[in-house]
Amino acid sequence: MTVVGAFGLSVRDQALEADVRAGLAAVEEGLLAATKSTVPFITEAAQHLVLAGGKRFRPLLVTLAAQFGDPHGPGVVPSAVVVELTHLATLYHDDVMDEAQVRRGVDSANVHWGNSVAVLTGDFLFARASHILADLGPEAVRVQAEAFERLVTGQILETAGPRDGQDPVQHYLDVIAGKTGSLVAVSGRFGAMMSGADDDVVDILTQYGERLGTAFQLADDVLDVASDSHESGKTPGTDLREGVPTLPVLHLRARVAQGGSAADRELAELLDGDLTDDARHAEALAGLRAHPALDDARRDTIRYAQEARSVLGSLRDCPAKQALEGLCDAVVHRAG
């Protein structure tokens, strides 16, 4: 059993391991080529997060999904570069919106160069992704466009908040399906599609990616509360400080809405207050770490990961299927 990639996937088959490693190495080369500009400053800004590393979760899924057809199909690696460039571009924009200070263990681009450069660098990455995508055919362009629309819609819905009478937890899960699930679903779809896999396999891996992507983001929500910066690559409690309600907070508020205890209400009031003060932020983070709402969020994460695993049931048994099941286990482990 060998661990492949920064995500920590365990691969038991040597041939699959070799394919995955080669695919991810080719994606790294593609990312560096796609982020290189004739203007040195743009290259520096565009490669800032590429060189910082990352789990390469989406390219990994593209590579694994391609195992159900021809894993060396000419569109496999370029499509993996497209989804990772798109993901990276959203990180530049997200950090501006969230006023984040750290990303992947380094200063965020907005801290390093300011908001304008960070936003424009994200736009540059979108442009480069589109350039590569154009060579993959009109169907690939359509798939990516639909996913990007869902991604942006999810971001807008998050900003707007739930409608009157709408369950805030369900609203949030819908937001995550758009913001994160959509692009991870495209990763599974592109890998299968570019490898020439059968249509039913493409559909299965798309559904799998949607559910796994949601579980992946929910695990990040748990990590934002439960981990230190070494584990998560960003400052713990960033979302709390910025007033962004993630799943543990929403579960706490749901408990308060249903009656709750005095301790529940006290913690909710603290979380709803000004957490820019370091002492109040530390108190809120400690309180949420010890609260059952964090376990509620973990259970939701596990549920989506289990749904992703169940979708794979009709796929033929092979090392790639076992690896995809292993991704479900890895997501659950992150939330543990």
Rounded-to-integer distance, Cα 230 and Cα 165, Å = 39
Digit-coded pLDDT (tens) for 144-168: 999 999 999 999 998 899 999 899 9
Statement: residue 3 has pLDDT above 70:
no
Q: Are 78 and 23 in contact (CB under 8 A)?
A: no
Q: What pLDDT shows up at residue 277?
A: 87
Rounded-to-integer distance, Cα 303 and Cα 295, Å = 12
Statement: residue 320 has pLDDT above 90:
yes
Among 30-44, 71-85, 110-124, 313-327, the minimum mean pLDDT is found in 110-124
Q: What pLDDT shows up at residue 57?
A: 92
Range 126-147 average pLDDT: 96
Digit-coded pLDDT (tens) for 242-262: 777 889 999 999 999 999 899
* Backbone angles phi and psi of 146, in degrees to 5: -65, -40
- Cβ count near 329 (within 10 Å): 13
Digit-coded pLDDT (tens) for 95-104: 767 666 667 6
Rounded-to-integer distance, Cα 23 and Cα 83, Å = 14
Q: What are the residue ranges spanned by the domains of the chain? A: 2-335
CATH code of the region 2-335: 1.10.600.10
For 85, residues 6+ apart whose C-beta sits below 8 A from its C-beta are 31, 34, 35, 125, 126, 128, 129, 132
Statement: residue 335 has pLDDT above 80:
no
Statement: residue 130 has pLDDT above 90:
yes
Range 271-299 average pLDDT: 92
Among 7-21, 171-185, 236-250, 320-334, the minimum mean pLDDT is found in 7-21
Predicted confidence band of residue 1 (pLDDT cuts 50, 70, 90): very low
* Backbone angles phi and psi of 38, in degrees to 5: -70, -15
Q: What pLDDT shows up at residue 237?
A: 82
Statement: residue 280 has pLDDT above 60:
yes
Digit-coded pLDDT (tens) for 212-249: 999 999 998 999 898 775 455 556 787 888 777 889 99
User: How many angstroms from the chain centroid is the CA of residue 162?
Assistant: 22
Digit-coded pLDDT (tens) for 39-81: 999 999 888 888 887 889 999 999 999 999 999 999 999 999 9
Statement: residue 6 has pLDDT above 60:
no
Q: What is the mean pLDDT of the chain?
A: 89
Digit-coded pLDDT (tens) for 192-208: 999 999 999 999 999 99
* Three-state DSSP class for residue 174: helix
